[in-house]
């Protein structure tokens, strides 16, 4: 296979080519490639494919980020991270010599309380016959696998193992991992596939999938705000934690690399500490017996 060499340092590089080379580095990390691709597609729409990378400026980056000015801090930070990563890559290649993101700052994410969706509300959402089958299968699978949205949205039919109720995906680090679902998803999937043996499972991109979930979940949210796809993963892990699953079990399900990150998602803290202390209290065992 031939590989097109990168231009020498200091050469004139069109932005479209630079973005393509940058994303090629993540071809085995579908979740990252999808997230970065969304941001950089907007960069190209604003700046144009032929703009020299050397012409990237703080003003241009600020204009790109205006698209997410009114979005949640986490969304702003996600897109800013993609632009910063591209800028860092361009700096290392010596296509630019100053960081065009230097005037942009991450936004503080404030806690808004527990974002767990109650199981009773999820049951009504999942069985709402007003919703298309594709969306109901997607939401069920996201909840039952506790997977990241990009991991499920990028699944191909050939990634599925219907017999063992699992699918192969690529983690953020590029590792080959399995997502496992339960009976409800297993019953719905064959109806969605309708005999298809190849091609994307869901035929929807992240922005569209997020929009549809927000719109539909508004009907079931008592606050009338609606929920996010990430809340399905968060809720699944919180519900498993509440049922008494151990931290290593939750880590195996969520595939978090570090327990500290998992703990932030499911609040493994004082309650978990109290429970495991009581379970391993030998004096308490003697008294109970």
Q: Which CATH number fits the domain that encloses residue 217? A: 1.10.443.10
Q: Is the pLDDT of residue 288 over 60?
A: no
Q: Is residue 104 one of the residues assigned to a domain?
A: no
Same-domain check for residues 81 and 174: no
168/81 same-domain check:
no
pLDDT of amino acid 12: 82
**Percentage of the chain exceeding pLDDT 70:** 84
Average pLDDT over residues 36-63: 95
- In this structure, are 51 and 180 located in the same domain? no
Please check whether residues 85 and 146 belong to one and the same domain: no
Domain end point (choices 46, 74, 92): 92
Q: Note whether 19 and 149 are same-domain residues.
A: no
How many domains does one find in the chain?
2
Give the residue numbers spanning the domain of 63.
15-92
Burial class of residue 221, CB neighbours in 10 A (0-12, 13-18, 19+): middle
CB 33 within 8 A of CB 171: no
Asked if the structure places residue 287 within a domain, the reply is no
Per-residue confidence band for 284, with pLDDT thresholds at 50, 70 and 90? low
Q: Which residue has the tokens 């939401």?
A: 139
- Co-location of 87 and 127 in the same domain: no
68 closest CA partner among 175, 207, 172: 207
pLDDT score recorded for residue 268? 56
Nearest to 181 by CA among 196, 166, 169: 166
Higher pLDDT, 115 or 218: 218
Residues 6+ apart with CB under 8 A from 89: 18, 22, 25
In a domain, 7, yes or no: no
**Location of structure tokens 């983690």:** 171
Question: Where does the pLDDT of residue 245 fall: very low under 50, low under 70, confident under 90, or very high at 90 and above?
Answer: confident
Q: What does the pLDDT average to over 196-207?
A: 90
Average pLDDT of the residues in 277-285: 63
Specify the pLDDT at position 149: 93
* Predicted local confidence at residue 34, as pLDDT: 87
Does residue 46 belong to any structural domain of this protein?
yes
Q: Is residue 98 part of a domain?
A: no
Last residue of a domain, one of 74, 92, 110: 92
Q: Which DSSP helix (H) or strand (E) runs through 166?
A: strand 166-170
Residues 165 and 36 placed together within one structural domain of the fold: no
Same domain, 263 and 124: yes
Same domain, 261 and 123: yes
Q: Please report whether residue 276 resides in a domain.
A: no
Which residues lie closer than 8 Å to 16 by C-beta, 6 or more apart?
44, 49, 50
Instruction: Say if residue 248 is in the same domain as residue 138.
Output: yes
Alpha carbons 248 and 48: distance in angstroms, whole number: 47
The pLDDT value recorded for residue 33 is 85
- pLDDT average, residue stretch 18-34: 87
**Residue 192 forms part of a structural domain:** yes
The Cβ of residue 16 has, within 10 Å, a number of other Cβ atoms equal to 16
What is the pTM for the complete model shown?
A: 0.61
Average pLDDT over residues 192-197: 94
Confidence at residue 71, expressed as pLDDT on a 0 to 100 scale: 85
Residue tagged 């494919």 (tokens): 49
Overall average pLDDT of the 241-251 stretch: 87
Contacts for 265 with CB less than 8 Å, ≥ 6 apart: 233, 234, 237, 254, 256
pLDDT at residue 45 tops 50: yes
Mean pLDDT of the chain: 86
* Same domain for 261 and 132: yes
Q: Name the residue with higher pLDDT: 96 or 204.
A: 96
Residue 252 lies in a domain: yes
- The answer to whether residues 234 and 137 belong to one domain is yes
Q: Report the length, in residues, of the chain.
A: 289
């Amino acid at each position: 296979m031939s590989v097109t060499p990168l231009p020498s340092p200091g050469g004139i590089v069109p932005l479209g080519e630079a973005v393509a080379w940058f994303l090629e580095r993540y071809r085995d990390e579908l979740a990252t490639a999808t997230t970065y691709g969304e941001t950089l597609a907007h960069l190209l729409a604003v700046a144009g494919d032929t703009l020299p990378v050397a012409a990237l400026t703080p003003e241009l980056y600020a204009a790109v980020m205006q698209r997410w000015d009114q979005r949640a801090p986490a969304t702003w930070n996600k897109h800013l991270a993609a632009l910063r990563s591209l800028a860092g890559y361009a700096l290392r290649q010596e296509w630019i010599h100053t960081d065009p993101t230097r005037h942009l700052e991450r936004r503080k994410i404030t806690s808004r309380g527990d974002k767990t969706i109650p199981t009773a509300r999820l049951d009504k959402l999942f069985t709402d016959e007003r919703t298309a089958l594709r969306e109901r299968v997607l939401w069920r699978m996201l909840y039952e696998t506790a997977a990241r949205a990009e991991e499920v949205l990028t699944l191909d039919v050939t990634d599925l193992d219907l017999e063992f109720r699992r699918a192969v995906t690529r983690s953020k680090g590029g590792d080959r991992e399995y997502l496992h679902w339960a009976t409800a998803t297993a019953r719905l999937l064959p109806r969605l596939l309708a005999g298809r043996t190849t091609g994307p499972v869901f035929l929807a991109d992240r922005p569209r999938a997020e929009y549809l979930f927000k719109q539909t979940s508004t009907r079931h949210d008592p606050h009338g705000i609606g929920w996010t796809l990430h809340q399905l993963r968060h809720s699944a892990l919180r519900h498993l934690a509440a049922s008494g699953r151990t931290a290593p079990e939750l880590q195996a399900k969520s595939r978090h690399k570090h327990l500290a990150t998992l703990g932030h998602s499911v609040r493994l803290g004082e309650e978990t500490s109290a429970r495991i202390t009581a379970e391993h209290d030998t004096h308490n065992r003697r008294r109970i017996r």
